[in-house]
Amino acid sequence: MPLGLYLIAAASENMGIGVNGGLPWRLKNEMAYFTKLTTQTKSPDKKNVVLMGRKTWDCMPKKYRPLRDRINVVLTNQYLDLGDEAIVCKSLPSALEKLSQPPLKDQIERIWVIGGSGVYKAAMESPSFHRLYLTRVKKYFECDTFFPPISNEFKLTSDPEVPEGIQEEDRLQYEFTLYEKC
Ligand SMILES: NC(=O)c1ccc[n+]([C@@H]2O[C@H](COP(=O)([O-])OP(=O)(O)OC[C@H]3O[C@@H](n4cnc5c(N)ncnc54)[C@H](OP(=O)(O)O)[C@@H]3O)[C@@H](O)[C@H]2O)c1
């Protein structure tokens, strides 16, 4: 089966996802949800990919990167050598091509697209798009980076791996949602 793209993001009421190179909020349990979903695999012999733009990579504190127990892939138009830490690719199609070749193909369970803006947009428009896991943070935040518009082809759905209902941390409410494309 060809590898599908699983997008995961958290966005504010005004669809903001980032400010000054970081996240606009600090939600420990939401981050744990991100870590769990992007790391867990059904097959103990496989790993997931976390695919991101170069700025998202740059923004991550060095102690957290590469993201542990996942195959890190970074998109950039520059020449960048990240050694053993991450696979560097020039575009989403070239990343998919590389990840679909053996031996990598046989080692990968899911490809998680983890941002930012342009990478989400490319993945939502890709024929390989599979699902969007979007946390709706129920507050307006001043942001400089935004989640791309979600077309009405995307429909809300549910899955046991997505907790239902309103979550709350530090008096900030949010909700886990899941979209598929019809
Ligand atoms: N809330 C969330 O869920 C979430 C998730 C991720 C990130 N963020 C936040 O979002 C901000 C970073 O996101 P961003 O949108 O500014 O940047 P980004 O997407 O992480 O990185 C942009 C860079 O990635 C490369 N790139 C992007 N799309 C590409 C493509 N299709 N092909 C080739 N290269 C591509 C380019 O790198 P070069 O310039 O090197 O060519 C581009 O300048 C930060 O504030 C971060 O904290 C939030």
CA 40 to ligand 1 center in whole angstroms: 24
Q: Is 161 a catalytic residue?
A: no
Set 5, 7, 27, 30: catalytic member? 30
Q: Report the SS3 class of residue 23.
A: coil
CA 114 to ligand 1 center in whole angstroms: 9
Q: What topology is assigned to 17-174 in CATH?
A: Dihydrofolate Reductase, subunit A (3.40.430)
**Percent of the chain topping pLDDT 70:** 100
- Residue range 142-176, pLDDT digits in tens: 999 999 999 999 999 999 999 999 999 999 999 99
**For the chain, which residues make up each domain, given as ranges?**
17-174
- Cα distances (Å, whole numbers) of residue 68 to 42, 85, 140: 17, 10, 31
